[in-house]
A and B are shown apart, each in its own frame.
Chain A
Amino acid sequence: MGARSFGAVALAVVVAGLAVTRVLDNQYYYFAGYVVLQYVVLATAWNILGGYTGYVNFGTPAFFALGAYTAVVLIQSLKAPLAIQLVAGAIISGLLGLALGYLTLRLRGVFFSIATLALAVVLQTMFINWEYTGGARGITLVRPASAPLFGNYVQFLFVVMLGLAVLAVATAWWIERSWIGRGLTAIRDNEEAAECMGVPTLRLKLVATTVSGVLMGLAGAPFPYYVTFVEPTSVFDLNYAVNSLAMPMIGGSTTWIGPVIGAVLLGTAQQIATVTISSALNLLLVGLILVAFVILAPEGIVGLVQRLARRSGERTRRSGV
Chain B
Amino acid sequence: MRRNRSRTRAWAVVSLLIGALFASSAWPGAASAADPIKIGFGMALTGGLAANGKAALIAMQLWEADVNKKGGLLGRPVQLVYYDDQTKGATVPGIYTKLLDVDKVHFVVSGYGTNLIAPAMPIVMERKLVFPALFGLANNEKHNYSGYFQIMPAGPRPAIDWTGTYLEVAARQTPKPQTLALVGADAEYPHNALAGIRENAKRLGFKVVYDSTYPPNTVDFTPIVRVIKAQNPDVVFVASYPPDSAGMVLAAHEVGLQPKMFGGGMVGLQFAALLTKLGPKLNGIVNYDFWVPEPTLKFSGIEDFLKRYQAQAEKAGVDPLGHYLPPWAYAYLQVLGQAIEGTKSLDQQKVADYVRTQEHDTIVGKVKFGANGEWATSRVLQVQFQGIETTDIAQFHKAGKRVVVWPEQYKSGKLIYPYSSAMK
Contacts and interface: CB of A to CB of B under 8 A. Distances in A.
Interface string A227-252: 11101011001010000000000000
Contact of B93 (A31, A129, A135, A278): A31
B192 A137 contact: yes
A204 to B, nearest CB: 34
Nearest to B91: A274
B93 A229 contact: no
A228 B118 contact: yes
Contacts of A137: 188, 191-192, 195
Nearest to A27: B97
B115 A275 contact: no
Contacts of B142: 140, 142
B420 interface: no
Contact of A136 (B90, B123, B126, B191): B191
B88 interface: yes
B378 interface: no
A234 B95 CA distance: 16
Contacts, number: 115
Given A228-B122, A278-B84, A136 B93 contact: no
Contact of B186 (A26, A136, A142, A237): A136
Contact of B89 (A31, A229, A279): A229
Given A28-B97, A135-B191, A140 B90 contact: no
Given A28-B101, A137-B191, A143 B186 contact: no
A289 interface: no
Interface residues of B, number: 42
Given A28-B98, A31-B94, A32-B94, A227 B119 contact: yes
Best-surrounded residue of A27, A143, A229, A234 (most CB of chain B within 10 A): A229
B94 A143 contact: no
B336 to A, nearest CB: 22
Contacts of B195: 137
Contact of B126 (A135, A145, A231, A234): A145
B118 A140 contact: yes
B236 interface: no
A233 to B, nearest CB: 8
Given A142-B142, A237-B88, A274-B95, A279 B83 contact: yes
Interface in B80-131: 83-86, 88-95, 97-98, 100-102, 114-115, 118-119, 121-123, 126
A35 B94 contact: yes
Interface in A1-44: 26-28, 30-32, 35
B424 interface: no
Contacts of A136: 185-188, 190-191, 213, 216
B143 interface: yes
A226 interface: yes
Nearest to A157: B93
A59 to B, nearest CB: 19
A227 B92 contact: yes
A35 B94 CA distance: 9
A143 B94 CA distance: 16
B46 interface: yes
Contacts of B121: 140, 228-229
Contact of B115 (A31, A234, A278, A279): A234
B45 interface: yes
Contacts of A239: 88
Nearest to A230: B89
A321 B58 CA distance: 70
B28 interface: no
Contact of A229 (B97, B118, B185, B187): B118
A269 to B, nearest CB: 14
B211 to A, nearest CB: 14
B317 interface: no
A282 interface: yes
A274 B84 contact: yes
Nearest to A137: B191
A226 B122 CA distance: 10
Nearest to B123: A27
B215 interface: yes
Interface of A: 26-28, 30-32, 35, 125, 128-129, 135-138, 140, 142-143, 145, 154, 223, 226-229, 231, 233-234, 237, 239, 271, 274-275, 278-280, 282
18 contacts: A26-B101, A28-B97, A35-B94, A125-B186, A136-B213, A136-B216, A137-B192, A138-B115, A142-B122, A143-B122, A223-B90, A227-B119, A274-B84, A274-B86, A275-B98, A279-B45, A279-B84, A280-B84
Top 9 A-B pairs, shortest CB-CB distance: A229-B118, A28-B97, A27-B97, A31-B94, A279-B84, A280-B46, A137-B191, A26-B101, A136-B191
Given A138-B188, A231-B89, 4 more contacts: A136-B190, A154-B97, A229-B118, A275-B98
Interface of B: 45-46, 83-86, 88-95, 97-98, 100-102, 114-115, 118-119, 121-123, 126, 139, 141-143, 185-188, 190-192, 195, 213, 215-216
